[in-house]
Amino acid sequence: MSKTYYDSSDLRKFGKITEWDEELGNKFFDYYGKVFEEGALTAREKSLIALAVAHTEQCPYCIDAYTKDTLQRGITKEQMMEAIHVGAAIKSGATLVHGVQMMNKVNKLEM
């Protein structure tokens, strides 16, 4: 077993998940491929969304993959960083909006 939980070369082995369950694995990869095709959103827009979500999910493989993908599409560093801030804003907003729940609870409990 490897001594670390993550190994960057494991990303290249992603496709191997089909070896232990071909049907579900293939269904996933077909779906995945279809999602990223040019549609009502451009492939470029989808790549930036994926980059932002890769960060909010804190998936190191996804960050490697979509940093490269966005670079390949000619997306600039500034655009990449802005996309991550969108993800971060939603993440922090999601934390802070729960503050209302906390406030409600305090208001209910306090005399």
In whole angstroms, how close is the CB of 13 to another protein at the nearest point? 11
- Kindly state the DSSP code that residue 92 receives in the 8-state scheme: H
**Under 8 Å CB-to-CB from 78, ≥6 apart: which residues?**
none
Amino acid identity, residue 84? I
In whole angstroms, how close is the CB of 89 to another protein at the nearest point? 25
Binding mask 42-81 for another protein (x = CB under 8 A): xxx-----------------------x--xxxx-xx----
**Closest to another protein by CB, 71 or 89:** 71
Helix (H, G, I), strand (E, B) or coil at 6: coil
End-to-end CA distance of the chain: 57
CB atoms within 10 A of CB 69: 20
Binding mask 74-103 for another protein (x = CB under 8 A): x-xx--------------------------
Residues that bind another protein (CB under 8 A): 12, 42-44, 68, 71-74, 76-77
